[in-house]
Amino acid sequence: MQEEVRGSCLCGEVHFKVEGRFERFYLCHCAHCRKDTGSAHAANLFSSTARLHWLSGQAQVRAFTLPGTRHTRCFCSRCGSALPYASEKTLVVPAGSLDSEFAMAVDGHIFTASRAAWDHDLAKAPRFDRLPS
């Protein structure tokens, strides 16, 4: 994995870079991550040593921690895009927020016991290069 990756939000207001290496790449199927993403799972990169640097738009970054949990989501207050979150011990970076080419293999699916009822055999669903007519 490369030593530096860059990313941004959908509206382009927030830009960041991460220096260092990611140790893990998980697809999380817990109910909190499904709510965060509106999808079957979140795709997050984890590092205990990499450093996050905001390049622009840091004033637009908001954080929400679900009361009674360690579940935190950072996002752009303008467009709602998921953004990195740095705690004292771990940096969590949504893989979809990266603009840099990135080829780290997924380490696994986690919290699969709480996955959505419709999240079965998705690999067998038809595939289209664009929105079908």
Q: What is the CATH number of the domain that holds 78?
A: 2.170.150.70
Question: Predicted confidence band at 2 (pLDDT cuts at 50, 70, 90)?
Answer: low
**Mean pLDDT of all residues in 24-41:** 93
Comparing 122 with 63, the larger pLDDT belongs to: 63
Question: Which range marks the domain in which residue 54 is found?
Answer: 4-114
> Looking at the domain assignment, is residue 40 inside a domain?
yes
Query: pLDDT digit string (tens) for 34-61?
Result: 999 999 999 999 999 999 999 999 999 9
Residue 120 banded pLDDT, cuts 50, 70, 90: confident
pTM of the model: 0.90
In a domain, 26, yes or no: yes
Distance CA 128, CA 6 (A): 28
User: How many domains in the chain?
Assistant: 1
Cβ contact 104:93 at 8 Å = no
Confidence tier at 103 by pLDDT (50, 70, 90): confident
Residue 114: partners with Cβ closer than 8 Å, 6 or more residues away: 29, 30, 31
Going by pLDDT thresholds of 50, 70 and 90, the confidence category of residue 67 is very high
